[in-house]
Amino acid sequence: MKKILVACGTGMSTSTMIAQRLQEYLSEQGINVTTSQCCLNEIPYNCSGMDLIVTSMKVDKDYGIPTLNGAPLLIGINDDALKQQIKTLLSQ
């Protein structure tokens, strides 16, 4: 099972929406995932053991784990490319 950390400004509503959309999409693709949520500033304390980090905004810090901007999942623009990128990363 793959693990995804989803982070936004407060670790609540935006990250919840992204996490739900990720779970729905990846379930359809046959990829089992669990998601955890946190605030952006809590990423360093929560990223251990994660396979992917998805944030609500661009993050420049390198956590040693693939980190993607999940904003397209919120607005539905260019989300197909992001979904494909996530699928590829988690299928490795």
> Which stretches of the chain are DSSP H helices?
13-28, 43-46, 71-75, 79-91
pLDDT digit string, tens, across residues 2-18: 999 999 988 789 999 99
Candidates 8, 38, 39, 47; catalytic one = 8
Instruction: Record the pTM.
Output: 0.94
Question: Is 8 designated active site?
Answer: yes
pLDDT of residue 40: 95
Residue entry with tokens 């929560």: 46
Q: What are the tokens at 35?
A: 């998601």
The CATH topology of domain 2-91 is Rossmann fold (3.40.50)
